[in-house]
Amino acid sequence: MKIAVLDWDTVSVDGDISCSEIEKFGEVKFFPLTKPEETVKNIADSETVLCNKVLITREVIDKCPNIKYIGVFATGFNNIDIEYAREKNITVCNADSYSTDAVAQQVFAYILDRFSRIRDYDTAVKNNEWINSPTFSYFPIPTAELSGKNLSIIGYGSIGKKVAEIGRAFGMNIIISTRAKPENCPYEVTDVSTAVKKADILTFHCPLTEKTKGMINKDLLNLMKPSAVLINTSRGGVVNEYDLADALNNNKISFAYLDVLEREPMSPDTPLRNAKNCIITPHTAWAARETRERLVNIVCDNIKSWLDGKPQNKVN
């Protein structure tokens, strides 16, 4: 079987992830990255295509008639023309739930950054403020306990559930808003507006759909407490970046932590680049080495299941 891996550099950094398991399936061509104009050439006569963010459009599928299987190195698959792939009997499989622990960990890295203020106190110490303090304990920067805070979670998939579990361990009040009411949920379940109004911390773990696109907008932000913190590790398109920048710059909310933006890599023109009290990380929540190793293993398991005639994680 001929396999084309179109953007291996989005999975492995300096060879830190082994590609040997993929190579067991046949003749593999690894491309560090693939520009749109290179996609057809790089796929050539491959039967299996593995990619992360490369667009596999109707035009690409028509020009590469040997494709039988597309594997995605991600949970999201917006880059694939799913309907046309189904029409052409091409199986498309994603990698579900591989990043749950890593993303939930990063959510709490953000939360602890805001409420424990470690970076700010480290800066104060390095600026000799503790050396010059008249008291043994120097605490001019307000900190706060997480216990008793309202953690509102929009989306209750595997990551949302993990964030809730960790929040409960900190003694937080967990509030869930999700598309369909979950069974046997041990937390308060309510509508989006109520969850937003109650939130001390509002974190998003929903897919990007027509309904969720731009849902973090002026109307939603106006419902938030001025002291509230917003976190988005889901998809950049969930945020109206101009509305969020305006809310931050005008103190309508206190802080935002973002791991995803509408355009990636980040556009120099994004209004969030210089927004007040906005921390942006470059889509790293999923990037722990253990997470990426798990991702590759899931992608390989998907291929094996497809070859065995029992495809798993099939999205079309």
pLDDT at 307: 98
pLDDT of 309 higher than 90: yes
Average pLDDT value for residue range 250-271: 97
DSSP letters of 199-244?
Answer: -SEEEE-----TTTTT-BSHHHHHHS-TT-EEEE-S-GGGB-HHHH
Burial (Cβ within 10 Å: 0-12, 13-18, ≥19) of residue 280? middle
Three-state DSSP state, 314: strand
Say how many C-beta atoms besides its own lie within 10 A of residue 293's C-beta: 17
178-185 long-range contacts, CB within 8 A, separation 24+: 178/154, 178/206, 179/206, 182/156, 185/156
pLDDT at 159: 97
Q: Hey, what are 43's tokens?
A: 């796929």
Establish whether 264 is a catalytic residue.
yes
The band of 285, judged by pLDDT with boundaries at 50, 70 and 90, is very high
Establish whether 205 is a catalytic residue.
no
Measured distance CA(272)–CA(18) in Å, rounded:
36
The answer to whether 65 and 43 are in contact (CB under 8 A) is no
Phi and psi based region of residue 117 (left: phi greater than 0; alpha: psi -120 to 50; beta: remaining) = left
Q: Hey, what are 155's tokens?
A: 């989306």
Average pLDDT value for residue range 122-144: 98
Q: Which of 235, 241, 262, 292 is labelled catalytic?
A: 235
**Residue of 56, 83, 99, 34 whose CA lies nearest to 284:** 99
Q: How many residues does the chain have?
A: 316
Ordered domains of the chain (ranges, CATH) = 2-96+289-307 (3.40.50.720), 100-280 (3.40.50.720)
Q: Which of 86, 179, 273, 283 is labelled catalytic?
A: 283
Say how many C-beta atoms besides its own lie within 10 A of residue 15's C-beta: 8
The answer to whether 129 and 121 are in contact (CB under 8 A) is no
The band of 181, judged by pLDDT with boundaries at 50, 70 and 90, is confident
Backbone torsions φ then ψ of 204, nearest 5 degrees: -105, 130
- 156, β-bridge pairs: none
Measured distance CA(78)–CA(38) in Å, rounded:
19
Q: Hey, what are 179's tokens?
A: 């598309």
The answer to whether 129 and 155 are in contact (CB under 8 A) is no
pTM of this prediction? Answer: 0.95
Establish whether 283 is a catalytic residue.
yes
pLDDT in tens, 190-229: 999 999 999 999 999 999 999 999 999 999 999 999 999 9
The band of 58, judged by pLDDT with boundaries at 50, 70 and 90, is very high
Q: Which of 263, 264, 289, 290 is labelled catalytic?
A: 264
pLDDT of 273 higher than 90: yes
Three-state DSSP state, 4: strand
pLDDT in tens, 74-110: 998 999 999 999 999 999 999 999 999 999 999 999 9
**Residue of 288, 280, 281, 224 whose CA lies nearest to 252:** 224
Measured distance CA(109)–CA(113) in Å, rounded:
6
Backbone torsions φ then ψ of 187, nearest 5 degrees: -115, 170
**In this prediction, what percent of the chain has a pLDDT beyond 90?**
99
pLDDT of 129 higher than 90: yes
